[in-house]
Chain A
């Protein structure tokens, strides 16, 4: 195992910049997740680390070894694909032994390591099966065992759970995480699934449009999102567009005045509020910001009720709509459109970002 360092990594195709100046340091044994919407450059970044795409600029260092120009077969990166990519003409044991065979390890020494790798992924005894005789989850475990058997410096997971059904995904998620901790594997995983990312990562990298928007722990990303994109991408946020008119004073487009401790720089801004910081009904009593909001639309989502409200009156040009999420406590009926509910939040609850567009 080793630390991994990505410096000023960049990939362009003609005029198109797919990855732009990515800098990431991954500590020995750390589980890092690259998270972002599709087309954000996360997979390209992973494939550059694996050696399948040559970077346009920048460097990749594994341990003390610069691998930037090395072909994939000299990088010692264990790779697990979304589509498993097992060798269909080889048995499970042959698949797992492949990396050892390529390293010219004698057959007698391979067998115990293959058995150990299969035991780690709970597939002991499946040696002589062929991949087509296994379920999707088993195939993905074989792929993992194959990557582990060669004792890679870095483990790279490319959306490894996306092809599995929901229940299995949970199981394999926990298995991968436990194995990674137990073996102290330096790991990069790419995913677009936020829940997956949050449950598995030590640290997350949020990418968008080829750039790193923020690197941090789950708590850092959720409580101090670096920009509006991260605030909307990690967890949910209610957004209100407006202006900061004076320090501590935010005014929505519809003209509603809001007290906000985070508002310091005067100018166009967006206020972001986490749903759990917004109190509804009697709970809003005594809060600095307290409004009568008009219900536009309400959805019943099981554990929560999602309510679209507008802050300003029905005559306002800009209605200042925002989305509330209320825990579905016993006895709560979802409000009807047109009804008025009381909502409120503390002065220190919101975060502000420069307004886009």
Chain B
């Protein structure tokens, strides 16, 4: 074995490493930070109907959001839906990820593809499919009513439940894949050691598997939470016009109301809420388990 530590990154000494990060950095700077900065500037502008946007430096757009119970309800609903979806993804995703990580089956790769398969169908296409399947005149209700099992069509579409199910279906693969890769990195021997020391399955999970999978659990929940907070197609198509969430609300302000300053403000509130909740969850979990 060599006693000289290798360079952490190939080419670190020649400055090549610095060059390697340039393209991605530029891309993020131009594609993300720039628009965000502009958006933030817009959110401080005034909106006067008929005049579109007037340059200014005011917080009235933010005040408007936080003083109107309608918008606060939308924010609360978005957070609620995102939290519930994330929990559902974790509860359903962990066992699935565990089985995928531990299976010795030669069909393992096929199983992983099966998990990713739903992502091959875009959100909008999927939601459209559900509208035809679960709508009041859709396949399910038509069959049930045709068989005389129900008189009134089941109200599945355009409810919060429909949105929850829709978002979970989209986000679950992200959770499963994140957890699976982390669980695969936990040696099976460690679980067996816990069993041999007298830990039953529940105790093993609580004291060994969960804490060791925690980095993956954090990554997976953050990923699905962010996706759920910013969901657009699913709430629009499955929630209907009355079920407003933050994503569609932002888009409406820009595209329909032409109110760019208020749209910018809502964007910033959504982004800040997402970051704050993510960081808070991270801190709470870390404090409990480290």
- Report the Cα distance A52→B189, complex, angstroms: 11
Asked if B194 lies at the interface with its beta carbon under 8 angstroms from chain A, I say yes
- Among B46-54, B57-65, B88-96, B203-211, the one that faces the other chain is B203-211
- Report the Cα distance A75→B190, complex, angstroms: 17
Q: How far is the CB of A104 from chain B (nearest CB, A)?
A: 10
- Report the Cα distance A50→B203, complex, angstroms: 18
Query: 1/0 per residue A74-87: CB within 8 Å of B?
Result: 11111101010111
Q: Within residues 189 to 244 of chain B, which ones have a CB less than 8 A from any CB in chain A?
A: 189-190, 192-200, 203, 207-208, 211-212
Query: 1/0 per residue A134-178: CB within 8 Å of B?
Result: 000000000100110010000010000000000000000000000
Chain A residue at smallest Cβ distance from B203: A102
Assess A150 versus B197: contact at CB under 8 Å? Given A85-B187, A85-B189: yes
CB atoms of A72 and B196 under 8 A apart? yes
- Report the Cα distance A225→B200, complex, angstroms: 43
- Report the Cα distance A334→B203, complex, angstroms: 64
- Report the Cα distance A77→B195, complex, angstroms: 10
Query: 1/0 per residue A101-130: CB within 8 Å of B?
Result: 111000000000000000000000000000
- Report the Cα distance A74→B208, complex, angstroms: 18
CB atoms of B193 and A102 under 8 A apart? no
CB atoms of A85 and B190 under 8 A apart? yes
Q: Within residues 14 to 70 of chain B, which ones have a CB less than 8 A from any CB in chain A?
A: none
Most buried by A among B196, B203, B211: B196
CB atoms of A73 and B212 under 8 A apart? no
Interface of B is mostly: helix
Q: Within residues 83 to 106 of chain B, which ones have a CB less than 8 A from any CB in chain A?
A: none
- Report the Cα distance A72→B195, complex, angstroms: 6
Across-interface contacts of B192 in A (CB, < 8 A): 50, 52, 72, 79, 81, 85
Q: How far is the CB of B98 from chain A (nearest CB, A)?
A: 17
Across-interface contacts of A78 in B (CB, < 8 A): 196
Asked if A219 lies at the interface with its beta carbon under 8 angstroms from chain B, I say no
Across-interface contacts of A87 in B (CB, < 8 A): 190, 193-194, 207-208, 212
CB atoms of A79 and B193 under 8 A apart? yes
Across-interface contacts of B195 in A (CB, < 8 A): 51-52, 71-73
Across-interface contacts of B196 in A (CB, < 8 A): 50-51, 72-73, 75, 77-79, 147, 156
Chain A residue at smallest Cβ distance from B192: A52
Across-interface contacts of B212 in A (CB, < 8 A): 87-89
CB atoms of B187 and A99 under 8 A apart? no
Across-interface contacts of B187 in A (CB, < 8 A): 83, 85
CB atoms of B200 and A83 under 8 A apart? no
CB atoms of A83 and B189 under 8 A apart? yes
CB atoms of A85 and B193 under 8 A apart? yes
Chain A residue at smallest Cβ distance from B211: A89
Q: How far is the CB of B123 from chain A (nearest CB, A)?
A: 37
Chain A residue at smallest Cβ distance from B193: A85
Chain A residue at smallest Cβ distance from B188: A85
Q: How far is the CB of B215 from chain A (nearest CB, A)?
A: 11
- Report the Cα distance A146→B194, complex, angstroms: 10
Query: 1/0 per residue B157-201: CB within 8 Å of A?
Result: 000000000000000000000000000000101101111111110
Asked if A353 lies at the interface with its beta carbon under 8 angstroms from chain B, I say no
- Report the Cα distance A81→B195, complex, angstroms: 13
Asked if A98 lies at the interface with its beta carbon under 8 angstroms from chain B, I say yes
Across-interface contacts of A71 in B (CB, < 8 A): 195, 200
Most buried by A among B193, B207, B212: B193
Across-interface contacts of A146 in B (CB, < 8 A): 193, 197
Q: How far is the CB of A96 from chain B (nearest CB, A)?
A: 10
Chain A residue at smallest Cβ distance from B196: A79
Q: Within residues 105 to 151 of chain B, which ones have a CB less than 8 A from any CB in chain A?
A: none
CB atoms of A103 and B198 under 8 A apart? yes
- Report the Cα distance A98→B206, complex, angstroms: 13
Across-interface contacts of A75 in B (CB, < 8 A): 196
Across-interface contacts of B189 in A (CB, < 8 A): 81, 83, 85
Most buried by B among A50, A52, A102: A102
Q: How far is the CB of A74 from chain B (nearest CB, A)?
A: 8
- Report the Cα distance A338→B197, complex, angstroms: 62
Across-interface contacts of A102 in B (CB, < 8 A): 197-199, 203
Q: Within residues 43 to 58 of chain A, which ones have a CB less than 8 A from any CB in chain B?
A: 50-52
Assess A73 versus B190: contact at CB under 8 Å? Given A89-B212, A98-B207, A102-B203: no
Q: How far is the CB of B47 from chain A (nearest CB, A)?
A: 52
Q: How far is the CB of B210 from chain A (nearest CB, A)?
A: 10
- Report the Cα distance A143→B196, complex, angstroms: 12
Q: How far is the CB of B100 from chain A (nearest CB, A)?
A: 21
Across-interface contacts of B208 in A (CB, < 8 A): 87
Q: How far is the CB of B238 from chain A (nearest CB, A)?
A: 40
Q: How far is the CB of B130 from chain A (nearest CB, A)?
A: 42
Chain B residue at smallest Cβ distance from A72: B195
Report 5 cross-chain contacts, Cβ distance below 8 Å, ordered by A residue: A50-B196, A72-B195, A79-B192, A83-B189, A102-B197
Ranked nearest first, the 7 interchain pairs of A and B with the lowest CB-CB distance are A102-B198, A85-B189, A99-B197, A79-B196, A72-B195, A85-B193, A102-B199
Given contacts A78-B196, A99-B198, A146-B193, 15 further A-B contacts (CB under 8 A): A50-B196, A51-B195, A52-B192, A52-B195, A73-B200, A76-B198, A79-B193, A79-B196, A87-B212, A88-B212, A89-B212, A98-B194, A102-B198, A143-B193, A150-B197
